[in-house]
Structure 1
Amino acid sequence: MNFKIMLQSIEPKPCIPINYQYPLSAALYRVIAKGDARYAAFLHETGYGKGFKFFTFSQIDCPFNINREEKYMKLQGNELSFSISFHLPLAMESFIKGLFQSERIDIADKKSRASFMVKSVERLPDPLQTRKENEIVSVILKPNSMIVAGIPAENGKYEYLSPDDQRFTESLIYNWRSKIATCYDENTAQSAILLLEILPIKLAFKPRLITIKAGTPNESQVRGWLNFELKVTAEKRFVELLLNAGAGLYNAMGCGSGEVKLLKNSINNI
Protein backbone atom coordinates (compact mmCIF):
# COMPACT_ATOMS: atom_id res chain seq x y z
CA MET A 1 0.00 0.00 0.00
CA ASN A 2 1.16 3.46 -0.88
CA PHE A 3 0.08 6.59 1.01
CA LYS A 4 0.62 10.31 0.53
CA ILE A 5 1.26 12.11 3.80
CA MET A 6 0.91 15.88 4.01
CA LEU A 7 2.65 17.66 6.89
CA GLN A 8 2.01 21.20 8.10
CA SER A 9 4.68 23.07 10.04
CA ILE A 10 3.90 24.20 13.58
CA GLU A 11 6.33 27.13 13.31
CA PRO A 12 6.73 29.56 10.39
CA LYS A 13 9.73 29.26 8.03
CA PRO A 14 10.78 25.77 9.13
CA CYS A 15 14.32 24.47 8.58
CA ILE A 16 15.08 20.77 8.39
CA PRO A 17 18.40 18.89 8.08
CA ILE A 18 19.80 18.60 4.58
CA ASN A 19 20.24 14.90 5.40
CA TYR A 20 16.64 14.55 6.54
CA GLN A 21 16.26 10.88 5.59
CA TYR A 22 17.51 9.36 8.84
CA PRO A 23 15.66 11.84 11.12
CA LEU A 24 12.45 11.33 9.14
CA SER A 25 12.86 7.55 9.31
CA ALA A 26 13.34 7.79 13.09
CA ALA A 27 10.22 9.97 13.35
CA LEU A 28 8.20 7.43 11.37
CA TYR A 29 9.34 4.65 13.70
CA ARG A 30 8.17 6.74 16.67
CA VAL A 31 4.74 7.20 15.12
CA ILE A 32 4.45 3.46 14.44
CA ALA A 33 5.64 2.66 17.98
CA LYS A 34 2.98 4.89 19.49
CA GLY A 35 0.28 3.02 17.59
CA ASP A 36 1.70 -0.49 17.81
CA ALA A 37 4.81 -0.90 19.94
CA ARG A 38 5.36 -4.58 19.10
CA TYR A 39 5.14 -3.97 15.33
CA ALA A 40 7.55 -1.02 15.62
CA ALA A 41 10.03 -3.04 17.70
CA PHE A 42 9.84 -5.85 15.16
CA LEU A 43 10.60 -3.44 12.28
CA HIS A 44 13.40 -1.64 14.10
CA GLU A 45 15.16 -4.55 15.81
CA THR A 46 14.42 -7.58 13.64
CA GLY A 47 12.63 -6.86 10.40
CA TYR A 48 11.59 -9.62 8.05
CA GLY A 49 14.17 -12.39 7.79
CA LYS A 50 17.42 -10.74 6.72
CA GLY A 51 16.48 -7.47 8.39
CA PHE A 52 14.17 -6.18 5.66
CA LYS A 53 11.66 -3.65 6.99
CA PHE A 54 9.30 -3.90 4.01
CA PHE A 55 8.50 -0.20 3.96
CA THR A 56 10.04 2.80 2.27
CA PHE A 57 9.34 6.47 1.66
CA SER A 58 10.02 9.03 -1.04
CA GLN A 59 11.90 12.30 -1.12
CA ILE A 60 10.02 15.22 0.38
CA ASP A 61 8.04 17.37 -2.02
CA CYS A 62 8.09 21.12 -1.32
CA PRO A 63 9.98 24.24 -2.46
CA PHE A 64 13.10 24.97 -0.41
CA ASN A 65 16.48 26.69 -0.35
CA ILE A 66 19.64 24.89 0.79
CA ASN A 67 22.22 26.32 3.16
CA ARG A 68 25.13 24.02 2.35
CA GLU A 69 27.48 25.56 4.93
CA GLU A 70 25.09 24.95 7.83
CA LYS A 71 23.63 21.83 6.16
CA TYR A 72 19.96 22.64 6.42
CA MET A 73 17.02 23.19 4.08
CA LYS A 74 14.80 26.24 4.58
CA LEU A 75 11.30 25.45 3.38
CA GLN A 76 9.57 28.14 1.32
CA GLY A 77 6.17 27.29 2.76
CA ASN A 78 4.59 25.63 5.76
CA GLU A 79 3.72 22.32 4.11
CA LEU A 80 5.60 19.34 2.75
CA SER A 81 4.50 15.95 1.49
CA PHE A 82 6.01 12.54 0.85
CA SER A 83 4.75 9.09 -0.03
CA ILE A 84 5.25 6.05 2.15
CA SER A 85 4.72 2.41 1.19
CA PHE A 86 4.09 -0.65 3.36
CA HIS A 87 3.97 -4.26 2.22
CA LEU A 88 0.77 -4.99 4.09
CA PRO A 89 -2.68 -6.33 3.10
CA LEU A 90 -5.30 -3.83 1.93
CA ALA A 91 -7.27 -4.60 5.08
CA MET A 92 -4.57 -2.71 7.03
CA GLU A 93 -5.45 0.62 5.37
CA SER A 94 -7.45 1.91 8.35
CA PHE A 95 -4.67 0.83 10.72
CA ILE A 96 -2.04 2.81 8.78
CA LYS A 97 -4.26 5.88 8.48
CA GLY A 98 -4.99 5.71 12.17
CA LEU A 99 -1.29 5.61 13.01
CA PHE A 100 -0.54 8.90 11.30
CA GLN A 101 -3.75 10.90 11.63
CA SER A 102 -3.15 14.11 13.66
CA GLU A 103 0.31 12.94 14.78
CA ARG A 104 3.26 15.25 15.39
CA ILE A 105 6.44 14.57 13.45
CA ASP A 106 9.77 16.18 14.35
CA ILE A 107 12.52 16.23 11.71
CA ALA A 108 15.71 17.23 13.49
CA ASP A 109 19.43 16.78 13.99
CA LYS A 110 21.96 18.70 16.10
CA LYS A 111 21.84 21.79 13.85
CA SER A 112 18.24 22.20 12.76
CA ARG A 113 14.77 21.17 13.84
CA ALA A 114 11.21 21.55 12.61
CA SER A 115 7.97 20.19 14.02
CA PHE A 116 4.98 19.26 11.88
CA MET A 117 1.46 18.00 12.33
CA VAL A 118 0.07 15.41 9.96
CA LYS A 119 -2.50 17.31 7.91
CA SER A 120 -3.76 14.43 5.79
CA VAL A 121 -3.16 10.75 4.96
CA GLU A 122 -4.38 9.54 1.57
CA ARG A 123 -4.05 6.06 0.11
CA LEU A 124 -2.85 6.33 -3.47
CA PRO A 125 -4.39 4.27 -6.28
CA ASP A 126 -2.96 0.81 -6.94
CA PRO A 127 -2.09 0.58 -10.67
CA LEU A 128 -1.89 -3.23 -10.44
CA GLN A 129 -5.21 -3.71 -8.66
CA THR A 130 -6.97 -5.39 -11.60
CA ARG A 131 -4.15 -7.85 -12.33
CA LYS A 132 -3.99 -11.38 -10.96
CA GLU A 133 -1.36 -12.32 -8.38
CA ASN A 134 0.55 -14.69 -10.69
CA GLU A 135 0.04 -12.65 -13.86
CA ILE A 136 3.30 -11.52 -15.43
CA VAL A 137 3.26 -7.77 -15.91
CA SER A 138 5.73 -5.23 -17.23
CA VAL A 139 5.86 -1.71 -15.80
CA ILE A 140 8.00 1.38 -16.11
CA LEU A 141 9.05 2.31 -12.60
CA LYS A 142 9.94 5.92 -11.84
CA PRO A 143 12.14 6.32 -8.74
CA ASN A 144 10.98 9.07 -6.39
CA SER A 145 13.99 8.68 -4.15
CA MET A 146 17.53 7.62 -4.96
CA ILE A 147 18.15 3.94 -5.64
CA VAL A 148 21.14 2.39 -3.90
CA ALA A 149 22.88 -0.72 -5.22
CA GLY A 150 26.07 -2.17 -3.83
CA ILE A 151 28.16 -5.21 -3.10
CA PRO A 152 29.67 -5.92 0.33
CA ALA A 153 33.25 -4.66 0.76
CA GLU A 154 35.98 -6.07 2.99
CA ASN A 155 35.51 -3.30 5.57
CA GLY A 156 31.94 -4.44 6.21
CA LYS A 157 30.43 -1.57 4.25
CA TYR A 158 29.33 -1.43 0.61
CA GLU A 159 31.00 -0.70 -2.69
CA TYR A 160 28.29 1.43 -4.26
CA LEU A 161 27.51 0.85 -7.92
CA SER A 162 26.32 3.24 -10.63
CA PRO A 163 23.56 2.45 -13.15
CA ASP A 164 26.08 2.17 -16.00
CA ASP A 165 27.75 -0.73 -14.17
CA GLN A 166 26.35 -4.13 -15.18
CA ARG A 167 26.47 -5.18 -11.54
CA PHE A 168 23.92 -2.45 -10.66
CA THR A 169 20.93 -4.38 -12.04
CA GLU A 170 22.43 -7.66 -10.85
CA SER A 171 22.59 -6.23 -7.33
CA LEU A 172 19.00 -4.97 -7.51
CA ILE A 173 17.73 -8.35 -8.71
CA TYR A 174 19.71 -10.17 -5.99
CA ASN A 175 18.20 -7.89 -3.36
CA TRP A 176 14.71 -8.29 -4.87
CA ARG A 177 15.07 -12.09 -4.92
CA SER A 178 16.16 -12.03 -1.26
CA LYS A 179 13.03 -10.08 -0.36
CA ILE A 180 10.89 -12.64 -2.19
CA ALA A 181 12.61 -15.46 -0.29
CA THR A 182 11.85 -13.66 2.97
CA CYS A 183 8.24 -12.93 2.05
CA TYR A 184 7.50 -16.34 0.49
CA ASP A 185 10.20 -19.02 0.49
CA GLU A 186 13.56 -19.81 -1.09
CA ASN A 187 12.15 -22.03 -3.85
CA THR A 188 9.69 -19.33 -4.94
CA ALA A 189 12.49 -16.78 -5.00
CA GLN A 190 14.86 -18.92 -7.05
CA SER A 191 12.22 -19.83 -9.65
CA ALA A 192 10.83 -16.30 -9.99
CA ILE A 193 11.24 -14.59 -13.37
CA LEU A 194 12.67 -11.16 -12.57
CA LEU A 195 13.76 -8.76 -15.32
CA LEU A 196 15.17 -5.27 -14.81
CA GLU A 197 16.32 -2.82 -17.46
CA ILE A 198 17.80 0.65 -16.90
CA LEU A 199 16.15 3.39 -18.97
CA PRO A 200 18.10 6.69 -18.87
CA ILE A 201 15.85 9.75 -19.05
CA LYS A 202 18.52 12.45 -19.29
CA LEU A 203 22.01 12.80 -20.68
CA ALA A 204 23.66 11.52 -17.51
CA PHE A 205 22.75 9.58 -14.41
CA LYS A 206 22.61 11.80 -11.32
CA PRO A 207 24.48 10.66 -8.20
CA ARG A 208 23.30 11.65 -4.76
CA LEU A 209 25.16 11.32 -1.48
CA ILE A 210 23.37 11.36 1.87
CA THR A 211 24.73 11.13 5.38
CA ILE A 212 23.14 8.82 7.92
CA LYS A 213 23.40 9.65 11.63
CA ALA A 214 25.12 12.93 10.77
CA GLY A 215 27.28 14.43 13.51
CA THR A 216 27.51 11.21 15.53
CA PRO A 217 30.30 8.62 15.93
CA ASN A 218 28.21 6.28 13.75
CA GLU A 219 28.02 8.71 10.83
CA SER A 220 28.19 7.08 7.40
CA GLN A 221 27.56 8.09 3.81
CA VAL A 222 25.36 6.36 1.27
CA ARG A 223 25.53 6.94 -2.49
CA GLY A 224 22.52 6.41 -4.72
CA TRP A 225 21.34 7.44 -8.16
CA LEU A 226 18.52 9.28 -9.92
CA ASN A 227 17.75 10.38 -13.50
CA PHE A 228 16.72 6.99 -14.82
CA GLU A 229 13.73 4.68 -14.90
CA LEU A 230 13.43 0.93 -14.52
CA LYS A 231 11.57 -1.42 -16.82
CA VAL A 232 10.40 -4.14 -14.46
CA THR A 233 8.93 -7.47 -15.56
CA ALA A 234 7.71 -10.12 -13.11
CA GLU A 235 4.62 -11.63 -11.57
CA LYS A 236 2.28 -9.00 -10.16
CA ARG A 237 2.89 -10.11 -6.56
CA PHE A 238 6.64 -9.65 -6.97
CA VAL A 239 6.28 -6.25 -8.63
CA GLU A 240 4.03 -5.19 -5.75
CA LEU A 241 6.68 -6.32 -3.28
CA LEU A 242 9.28 -4.22 -5.09
CA LEU A 243 6.98 -1.18 -5.01
CA ASN A 244 5.92 -1.60 -1.39
CA ALA A 245 9.26 -2.60 0.12
CA GLY A 246 11.56 -0.57 -2.15
CA ALA A 247 14.28 -1.37 -4.66
CA GLY A 248 17.88 -1.90 -3.60
CA LEU A 249 19.39 -1.01 -0.24
CA TYR A 250 18.45 1.28 2.68
CA ASN A 251 14.73 1.28 1.93
CA ALA A 252 13.67 2.15 5.48
CA MET A 253 15.98 5.20 5.22
CA GLY A 254 13.99 6.53 2.28
CA CYS A 255 15.91 4.94 -0.59
CA GLY A 256 14.46 2.89 -3.44
CA SER A 257 10.95 4.32 -3.38
CA GLY A 258 9.22 4.32 -6.75
CA GLU A 259 5.93 4.63 -8.56
CA VAL A 260 4.47 3.06 -11.69
CA LYS A 261 4.76 5.52 -14.56
CA LEU A 262 3.47 3.13 -17.22
CA LEU A 263 1.77 -0.24 -17.00
CA LYS A 264 2.30 -2.33 -20.11
CA ASN A 265 0.08 -5.14 -21.35
CA SER A 266 0.23 -8.53 -19.65
CA ILE A 267 2.93 -10.89 -20.87
CA ASN A 268 2.13 -14.56 -21.35
CA ASN A 269 5.58 -15.60 -22.53
CA ILE A 270 8.95 -13.99 -21.96
Structure 2
Amino acid sequence: MRFKLTLTPIRDRQRLVFNYQYPLQAWIYGRLANADAEYAGFLHERGYQVPESRKAFKHFTFSALQIPSIEPIQKGDTYMVLRSGVLTLYISFYVDKAAENFIVGLFQQQQLSIYNRECRADFVVERVETAPLPAMQSSMTFRTLSPMVVAQKVDDLDQYLTPTDADFGRFFAVNLVDKLRSVQPSMEMDAAIAERLVKFELLSDPERIKKRGFLAKEGKEKEQTKVIGYHNFTFALTAPPELIEVGYLGGFGKYCSMGCGCVEVVSASPP
Protein backbone atom coordinates (compact mmCIF):
# COMPACT_ATOMS: atom_id res chain seq x y z
CA MET A 1 0.00 0.00 0.00
CA ARG A 2 1.04 3.57 -0.63
CA PHE A 3 0.40 6.82 1.25
CA LYS A 4 0.58 10.45 0.21
CA LEU A 5 1.63 12.70 3.11
CA THR A 6 1.08 16.46 3.03
CA LEU A 7 3.71 18.23 5.17
CA THR A 8 3.28 21.80 6.40
CA PRO A 9 6.45 23.67 7.48
CA ILE A 10 6.25 24.99 11.04
CA ARG A 11 8.30 28.07 10.10
CA ASP A 12 9.08 29.90 6.88
CA ARG A 13 12.58 29.83 5.35
CA GLN A 14 13.70 26.69 7.14
CA ARG A 15 17.00 25.09 6.20
CA LEU A 16 16.66 21.52 4.94
CA VAL A 17 19.82 19.43 4.50
CA PHE A 18 20.38 17.91 1.06
CA ASN A 19 21.16 14.52 2.59
CA TYR A 20 17.82 14.01 4.31
CA GLN A 21 17.25 10.33 3.43
CA TYR A 22 18.76 8.88 6.61
CA PRO A 23 16.85 11.07 9.13
CA LEU A 24 13.66 10.55 7.13
CA GLN A 25 14.17 6.78 7.24
CA ALA A 26 14.75 6.98 11.00
CA TRP A 27 11.48 8.90 11.42
CA ILE A 28 9.55 6.22 9.51
CA TYR A 29 11.09 3.49 11.67
CA GLY A 30 10.08 5.49 14.73
CA ARG A 31 6.46 5.66 13.60
CA LEU A 32 6.45 1.92 12.92
CA ALA A 33 7.98 1.20 16.34
CA ASN A 34 5.23 3.18 18.07
CA ALA A 35 2.64 0.89 16.50
CA ASP A 36 4.49 -2.43 16.56
CA ALA A 37 7.96 -2.48 18.08
CA GLU A 38 8.51 -6.13 17.19
CA TYR A 39 7.77 -5.62 13.49
CA ALA A 40 9.86 -2.43 13.34
CA GLY A 41 12.74 -4.27 15.00
CA PHE A 42 12.41 -7.13 12.53
CA LEU A 43 12.63 -4.72 9.58
CA HIS A 44 15.52 -2.74 11.01
CA GLU A 45 17.65 -5.65 12.23
CA ARG A 46 16.83 -8.42 9.80
CA GLY A 47 14.26 -7.86 7.08
CA TYR A 48 12.90 -10.43 4.67
CA GLN A 49 15.75 -12.74 3.73
CA VAL A 50 16.39 -14.44 0.40
CA PRO A 51 16.74 -18.24 0.84
CA GLU A 52 20.34 -19.48 0.87
CA SER A 53 21.66 -15.94 0.65
CA ARG A 54 22.85 -13.09 2.85
CA LYS A 55 20.52 -10.70 1.01
CA ALA A 56 17.55 -9.21 2.86
CA PHE A 57 14.97 -6.57 2.01
CA LYS A 58 12.81 -4.19 4.06
CA HIS A 59 10.09 -3.93 1.39
CA PHE A 60 9.31 -0.27 1.85
CA THR A 61 10.45 2.90 0.17
CA PHE A 62 9.65 6.60 0.02
CA SER A 63 9.89 9.34 -2.56
CA ALA A 64 12.08 12.37 -2.61
CA LEU A 65 10.37 15.30 -0.90
CA GLN A 66 8.35 17.21 -3.48
CA ILE A 67 9.20 20.82 -2.69
CA PRO A 68 7.32 23.65 -4.43
CA SER A 69 9.86 26.43 -3.97
CA ILE A 70 13.35 27.03 -2.58
CA GLU A 71 15.72 29.98 -2.53
CA PRO A 72 18.66 29.95 -4.98
CA ILE A 73 21.36 27.51 -3.90
CA GLN A 74 24.84 28.94 -3.48
CA LYS A 75 28.06 27.11 -4.27
CA GLY A 76 29.21 25.15 -1.24
CA ASP A 77 25.78 24.98 0.40
CA THR A 78 24.89 21.73 2.16
CA TYR A 79 21.24 22.68 2.58
CA MET A 80 18.34 24.34 0.80
CA VAL A 81 16.22 27.19 2.19
CA LEU A 82 12.51 26.39 1.90
CA ARG A 83 10.01 29.02 0.92
CA SER A 84 6.46 28.83 2.24
CA GLY A 85 4.26 26.08 0.86
CA VAL A 86 3.39 22.50 1.65
CA LEU A 87 5.63 19.57 0.78
CA THR A 88 4.53 16.13 -0.44
CA LEU A 89 5.99 12.76 0.48
CA TYR A 90 4.97 9.31 -0.74
CA ILE A 91 5.63 6.29 1.48
CA SER A 92 5.10 2.84 0.06
CA PHE A 93 4.99 -0.60 1.71
CA TYR A 94 4.90 -4.09 0.24
CA VAL A 95 3.26 -5.86 3.19
CA ASP A 96 0.77 -8.64 3.75
CA LYS A 97 -2.77 -7.86 4.84
CA ALA A 98 -1.97 -8.59 8.49
CA ALA A 99 0.52 -5.71 8.56
CA GLU A 100 -1.67 -3.14 6.81
CA ASN A 101 -3.95 -2.49 9.78
CA PHE A 102 -1.29 -1.03 12.05
CA ILE A 103 0.31 1.06 9.27
CA VAL A 104 -2.90 2.99 8.59
CA GLY A 105 -3.02 6.13 10.72
CA LEU A 106 0.61 6.03 11.85
CA PHE A 107 1.54 9.38 10.36
CA GLN A 108 -1.48 11.65 10.79
CA GLN A 109 -0.74 14.85 12.78
CA GLN A 110 2.79 13.67 13.60
CA GLN A 111 5.72 16.07 13.64
CA LEU A 112 8.72 15.45 11.41
CA SER A 113 12.06 17.07 12.24
CA ILE A 114 15.08 16.83 9.95
CA TYR A 115 18.26 18.33 11.31
CA ASN A 116 22.00 18.13 11.80
CA ARG A 117 24.54 20.38 13.52
CA GLU A 118 24.04 23.17 11.00
CA CYS A 119 20.33 23.39 10.28
CA ARG A 120 16.86 22.15 11.13
CA ALA A 121 13.49 21.88 9.41
CA ASP A 122 10.26 20.95 11.23
CA PHE A 123 6.98 19.89 9.66
CA VAL A 124 3.52 18.72 10.69
CA VAL A 125 1.80 15.95 8.77
CA GLU A 126 -1.46 17.71 7.92
CA ARG A 127 -3.01 15.01 5.78
CA VAL A 128 -2.51 11.33 4.98
CA GLU A 129 -4.18 9.82 1.93
CA THR A 130 -4.14 6.17 0.93
CA ALA A 131 -3.24 5.91 -2.74
CA PRO A 132 -5.09 3.23 -4.71
CA LEU A 133 -2.94 0.42 -6.08
CA PRO A 134 -2.77 0.60 -9.88
CA ALA A 135 -3.71 -2.55 -11.77
CA MET A 136 -0.47 -4.42 -12.32
CA GLN A 137 0.07 -5.40 -15.95
CA SER A 138 2.87 -7.38 -17.57
CA SER A 139 4.11 -4.26 -19.37
CA MET A 140 4.17 -0.87 -17.67
CA THR A 141 5.91 2.48 -17.89
CA PHE A 142 7.27 4.22 -14.78
CA ARG A 143 8.86 7.53 -13.82
CA THR A 144 11.30 7.84 -10.92
CA LEU A 145 10.21 9.72 -7.78
CA SER A 146 13.58 9.22 -6.09
CA PRO A 147 17.08 8.09 -7.13
CA MET A 148 17.36 4.47 -8.25
CA VAL A 149 20.43 2.50 -7.17
CA VAL A 150 21.56 -0.52 -9.18
CA ALA A 151 25.00 -1.96 -8.51
CA GLN A 152 27.34 -4.74 -9.50
CA LYS A 153 29.54 -6.38 -6.87
CA VAL A 154 33.26 -6.20 -7.72
CA ASP A 155 35.67 -7.48 -5.05
CA ASP A 156 32.76 -7.30 -2.58
CA LEU A 157 32.27 -3.59 -3.27
CA ASP A 158 29.30 -1.97 -5.03
CA GLN A 159 30.03 -0.49 -8.45
CA TYR A 160 27.05 1.76 -9.17
CA LEU A 161 25.58 1.55 -12.68
CA THR A 162 23.88 4.25 -14.72
CA PRO A 163 20.59 3.38 -16.48
CA THR A 164 22.50 3.62 -19.76
CA ASP A 165 24.97 0.89 -18.73
CA ALA A 166 24.63 -2.36 -20.69
CA ASP A 167 24.54 -4.34 -17.42
CA PHE A 168 21.95 -2.16 -15.68
CA GLY A 169 18.95 -4.22 -16.84
CA ARG A 170 20.56 -7.51 -15.79
CA PHE A 171 21.28 -6.45 -12.21
CA PHE A 172 17.94 -4.65 -12.00
CA ALA A 173 16.24 -7.96 -12.94
CA VAL A 174 18.17 -10.12 -10.49
CA ASN A 175 17.48 -7.69 -7.64
CA LEU A 176 13.76 -7.64 -8.43
CA VAL A 177 13.51 -11.43 -8.51
CA ASP A 178 15.42 -11.70 -5.22
CA LYS A 179 12.87 -9.39 -3.62
CA LEU A 180 10.01 -11.66 -4.59
CA ARG A 181 11.96 -14.72 -3.44
CA SER A 182 12.37 -13.12 -0.01
CA VAL A 183 8.59 -13.25 0.51
CA GLN A 184 8.02 -16.43 -1.51
CA PRO A 185 10.87 -18.68 -0.34
CA SER A 186 9.61 -21.72 -2.26
CA MET A 187 10.14 -19.96 -5.60
CA GLU A 188 13.27 -21.21 -7.36
CA MET A 189 14.79 -18.83 -9.86
CA ASP A 190 18.37 -18.07 -10.90
CA ALA A 191 19.93 -15.06 -12.61
CA ALA A 192 19.43 -16.47 -16.12
CA ILE A 193 15.70 -16.95 -15.53
CA ALA A 194 15.47 -13.47 -14.00
CA GLU A 195 16.97 -11.92 -17.14
CA ARG A 196 14.47 -13.73 -19.35
CA LEU A 197 11.49 -12.71 -17.20
CA VAL A 198 12.37 -9.06 -16.56
CA LYS A 199 13.06 -6.56 -19.33
CA PHE A 200 14.13 -3.00 -18.50
CA GLU A 201 14.08 -0.36 -21.25
CA LEU A 202 15.21 3.21 -20.72
CA LEU A 203 12.86 5.66 -22.44
CA SER A 204 14.33 9.01 -21.40
CA ASP A 205 17.02 11.02 -23.13
CA PRO A 206 20.26 10.00 -21.34
CA GLU A 207 21.26 13.67 -21.16
CA ARG A 208 18.30 14.39 -18.88
CA ILE A 209 19.20 11.73 -16.29
CA LYS A 210 20.50 13.20 -13.04
CA LYS A 211 23.07 11.70 -10.69
CA ARG A 212 22.54 11.87 -6.94
CA GLY A 213 25.07 10.88 -4.29
CA PHE A 214 24.25 10.63 -0.60
CA LEU A 215 25.61 9.11 2.59
CA ALA A 216 24.00 6.06 4.17
CA LYS A 217 24.14 6.23 7.98
CA GLU A 218 25.37 9.82 7.98
CA GLY A 219 27.18 10.81 11.16
CA LYS A 220 28.40 7.27 11.91
CA GLU A 221 31.85 7.56 10.37
CA LYS A 222 32.78 3.88 10.68
CA GLU A 223 29.53 2.76 9.03
CA GLN A 224 28.61 5.49 6.55
CA THR A 225 28.72 4.61 2.86
CA LYS A 226 28.64 6.86 -0.19
CA VAL A 227 25.75 5.71 -2.37
CA ILE A 228 25.13 6.84 -5.95
CA GLY A 229 21.73 6.70 -7.61
CA TYR A 230 20.13 8.12 -10.74
CA HIS A 231 16.79 9.85 -11.19
CA ASN A 232 14.72 12.01 -13.54
CA PHE A 233 14.11 9.22 -16.04
CA THR A 234 11.25 7.13 -17.42
CA PHE A 235 11.50 3.43 -18.21
CA ALA A 236 9.41 0.58 -19.58
CA LEU A 237 9.28 -2.66 -17.63
CA THR A 238 8.08 -6.03 -18.88
CA ALA A 239 7.75 -8.76 -16.25
CA PRO A 240 5.14 -10.93 -14.51
CA PRO A 241 2.71 -8.64 -12.62
CA GLU A 242 3.67 -10.06 -9.21
CA LEU A 243 7.27 -9.00 -9.83
CA ILE A 244 6.25 -5.52 -10.93
CA GLU A 245 4.06 -5.15 -7.84
CA VAL A 246 6.87 -6.00 -5.40
CA GLY A 247 9.05 -3.34 -7.06
CA TYR A 248 6.34 -0.70 -7.30
CA LEU A 249 5.40 -1.01 -3.61
CA GLY A 250 8.76 -1.92 -2.08
CA GLY A 251 11.06 -0.06 -4.46
CA PHE A 252 13.23 -0.96 -7.44
CA GLY A 253 16.96 -1.51 -6.98
CA LYS A 254 19.00 -1.19 -3.79
CA TYR A 255 18.74 1.04 -0.69
CA CYS A 256 14.98 1.31 -1.10
CA SER A 257 14.34 1.70 2.64
CA MET A 258 16.55 4.82 2.45
CA GLY A 259 14.23 6.39 -0.10
CA CYS A 260 15.61 4.97 -3.33
CA GLY A 261 13.76 3.28 -6.18
CA CYS A 262 10.36 4.89 -5.60
CA VAL A 263 8.42 5.32 -8.86
CA GLU A 264 5.05 6.41 -10.21
CA VAL A 265 3.05 4.82 -13.01
CA VAL A 266 3.05 6.65 -16.34
CA SER A 267 1.05 4.10 -18.31
CA ALA A 268 0.16 0.40 -18.47
CA SER A 269 -0.30 -1.82 -21.47
CA PRO A 270 -2.80 -4.70 -21.52
CA PRO A 271 -1.17 -8.08 -20.76
Pairs within 5 Å for 1:4-23:
4-23=4-23
Distance in structure 2 (CA, Å) of the matches to 1:33 and 1:67: 38
- Report the counterpart of residue 196 of structure 1 in structure 2: 200
Pairs within 5 Å for 1:99-138:
99-128=106-135, 137-138=138-139
- Report the counterpart of residue 168 of structure 1 in structure 2: 168
- Report the counterpart of residue 52 of structure 2 in structure 1: none
User: How big is the shift at 1:194?
Assistant: 2.0
Aligned AA (1:239): I
The answer on whether the counterparts of 2:4 and 2:89 sit within 8 Å (CA) in structure 1 is yes
Aligned AA (1:153): V
- Report the counterpart of residue 231 of structure 2 in structure 1: 226
Change in 2 beyond 3 A, CA 1:94/1:78? farther
User: How big is the shift at 1:79?
Assistant: 2.3
Pairs within 5 Å for 1:235-254:
235-254=240-259
The answer on whether the counterparts of 1:14 and 1:78 sit within 8 Å (CA) in structure 2 is no
Aligned AA (1:102): Q
Change in 2 beyond 3 A, CA 1:61/1:204? closer
Change in 2 beyond 3 A, CA 1:92/1:138? same
Change in 2 beyond 3 A, CA 1:225/1:188? same
- Report the counterpart of residue 28 of structure 1 in structure 2: 28
Aligned AA (1:57): F
What is the TM-score of this pair, normalised by structure 1?
Answer: 0.88
Distance in structure 2 (CA, Å) of the matches to 1:178 and 1:264: 25
Q: Which runs of 5+ in 2 are unaligned?
A: 50-54
User: How big is the shift at 1:205?
Assistant: 2.7
Aligned AA (2:84): G
Aligned AA (1:148): V
Distance in structure 1 (CA, Å) of the matches to 2:144 and 2:21: 16
Distance in structure 1 (CA, Å) of the matches to 2:75 and 2:261: 24
Q: For 1:9-38, what per-residue CA distance to the aligned partner results, in whole angstroms no more than 9, with x for missing partners? A: 223322221101111111111111111111
Q: Which runs of 5+ in 1 are unaligned?
A: none
Give 1:57's match in structure 2, choosing from 41, 58, 62.
62
Aligned AA (2:43): L
Change in 2 beyond 3 A, CA 1:68/1:121? farther
User: How big is the shift at 1:181?
Assistant: 0.9
Aligned AA (2:202): I
User: How big is the shift at 1:81?
Assistant: 1.1
Q: For 1:150-171, what per-residue CA distance to the aligned partner results, in whole angstroms no more than 9, with x for missing partners? A: 11232x4311111121111111
Distance in structure 1 (CA, Å) of the matches to 2:41 and 2:117: 25
What is the TM-score of this pair, normalised by structure 2?
Answer: 0.88
The answer on whether the counterparts of 2:12 and 2:82 sit within 8 Å (CA) in structure 1 is no
1:100 partner SS: coil
2:214 pairs with 1:210: yes
User: How big is the shift at 1:109?
Assistant: 2.1
1:187 partner SS: coil
Distance in structure 2 (CA, Å) of the matches to 1:237 and 1:219: 33
Distance in structure 2 (CA, Å) of the matches to 1:187 and 1:250: 23
- Count of residues paired in the alignment: 259
